[in-house]
Amino acid sequence: DGGITQSPKYLFRKEGQNVTLSCEQNLNHDAMYWYRQDPGQGLRLIYYSQIVNDFQKGDIAEGYSVSREKKESFPLTVTSAQKNPTAFYLCASSDRALTEAFFGQGTRLTVV
């Protein structure tokens, strides 16, 4: 089945620790995105990539980093510089021929 897989579903981070969220897609989509959602709010763009080995900052990139070494993979690292990382993180992808984005099931990150 084609789709976007995020892992883990739940993640707990200690203060000062870096964590990496995985996102893999087998849809052969060129573009991939990371969004953050806080309770009762819409989605905000963290980073996006439209081709391999290239990515751009979104609206709230501070404290996050990404890589795009393979077309199907776009991992997000939440660094210790992100002071308020507790949120629901959503990965998405889109095809050049279409403009809508499709989402993975999300990772819920909590700082403990």
Which positions touch other proteins (CB under 8 A)?
30-31, 33, 35, 40-45, 48, 50, 58, 90, 92-96, 98-106
CA-CA distance, 94 to 102, in Å (whole number)? 6
Q: Say if residues 25 and 3 touch (Cβ distance below 8 Å).
A: yes
Q: Say if residues 58 and 44 touch (Cβ distance below 8 Å).
A: yes
- CB of 71 vs other proteins, minimal distance in Å: 14
The tokens describing 24, both together, are 């893999």
| Residue closer to other proteins (CB basis): 80 or 108 | 108
- CB of 92 vs other proteins, minimal distance in Å: 7
| Residue closer to other proteins (CB basis): 82 or 93 | 93
Residue found under tokens 């995105």: 33
